Amino acid sequence: MADGDHGIANESNLRSRYRDVSELAKKKVLSRLDKHCRAFIGLSPFVCLSTAAADGKADVSPRGDPPGFVKVLHDTTLLIPDRSGNNRLDTMTNIIANPHVGLIFFVPGMDETLRIDGQAEIVAGHPGLQDCAVNGSVPEVGIVVRIGHAHLHCAKALKRAKLWDTQAQIDRKSFPTLGKIITDQIAEIEMDADEADERIDRGYQKLY
């Protein structure tokens, strides 16, 4: 694809529209976790995991559990427990086809985030999963990530978004419930919005 009136397909063209990368931004990327990265992961209850299929189709999956649910096995290795969800297994099948992954960790109240990329492998019966038990529930499957690069990301995006600002939160009643949305989107579904919401709420009662 060539550069056009709106599209940019040339890296030099792209970079000409931005300031030069600072030396700090270049040098802050680590090849292994230091004490600050370890501490950040230990405080994080939420991570977004990006994967791509063999044909390049991308996906991002949110993962959440009590703080520190992602285990640091080594300064170059993480273990992410896999909890039961919608069972589509998009992330897992992507990893089987293409092991390259990206992670971004969040800590509530902190505007900085931690970014990691690496190679992932799906494991079953890994001894580290015993340490991932919540309410007596031990996950059977996990994702081991061997770290390629890690760095703390500045706070600009979250500050712009006011992500943790309670004054910026919407009134939840101003947006349709998930059950209503699903019944609107799936014409052939054999339940009304209230039934769908009840089914979803029952699922939320069984997080583990």
Question: Do 108 and 200 share a domain, yes or no?
Answer: no
Sort strands 46-52 and 100-106 into parallel, antiparallel or unpaired: antiparallel
Partners of residue 60 on adjacent β-strands:
50
Query: Does residue 1 register a pLDDT over 70?
Result: no
Q: Is residue 21 part of a domain?
A: no
Question: Do 118 and 65 share a domain, yes or no?
Answer: yes
Question: Do 31 and 122 share a domain, yes or no?
Answer: yes
What average pLDDT is seen over the chain? 94
Query: What would the pLDDT profile of 101-113 be if each residue is shown by its tens digit?
Result: 999 999 999 999 9
Q: Which of 158, 174, 182 is nearest to 108 (CA)?
A: 158
Question: Do 94 and 112 share a domain, yes or no?
Answer: yes
Domain containing 68: what range?
Answer: 27-161
Q: Is residue 13 part of a domain?
A: no
What is the CATH number for 146?
2.30.110.10
Provide the pLDDT for residue 120.
Answer: 98
Q: Is residue 7 part of a domain?
A: no
Question: Do 105 and 185 share a domain, yes or no?
Answer: no
The pTM is what? 0.93
Element (H, E) at 79: strand 77-82
Question: Do 37 and 118 share a domain, yes or no?
Answer: yes
Sheet holding 141-153, edge to edge: 58-64, 46-52, 100-106, 113-124, 141-153, 77-82, 71-74
Query: What would the pLDDT profile of 60-114 be if each residue is shown by its tens digit?
Result: 999 999 999 999 999 999 999 999 888 899 999 999 999 999 999 999 999 999 9
Question: Do 98 and 36 share a domain, yes or no?
Answer: yes
Q: How many structural domains comprise the chain?
A: 2
Question: Do 176 and 112 share a domain, yes or no?
Answer: no
Q: Is residue 44 part of a domain?
A: yes
Tokens of 133: 């038990």
Question: Do 117 and 195 share a domain, yes or no?
Answer: no
3-class secondary-structure state, position 169: coil
Query: What would the pLDDT profile of 5-36 be if each residue is shown by its tens digit?
Result: 689 999 999 999 999 989 988 899 999 999 99
DSSP category for residue 109 = T
Question: Do 199 and 102 share a domain, yes or no?
Answer: no
Q: Is residue 68 part of a domain?
A: yes
**How long, in residues, is the chain?**
208
* 79, 35 Cβ separation under 8 angstroms: no
Query: What would the pLDDT profile of 160-206 be if each residue is shown by its tens digit?
Result: 999 999 999 999 999 999 999 999 999 888 899 999 999 999 999 88
Question: Do 88 and 174 share a domain, yes or no?
Answer: no
Question: Do 179 and 151 share a domain, yes or no?
Answer: no
3-class secondary-structure state, position 200: helix
Q: Is residue 18 part of a domain?
A: no
- % helix, strand, coil for the chain, step of 5: 30, 30, 40
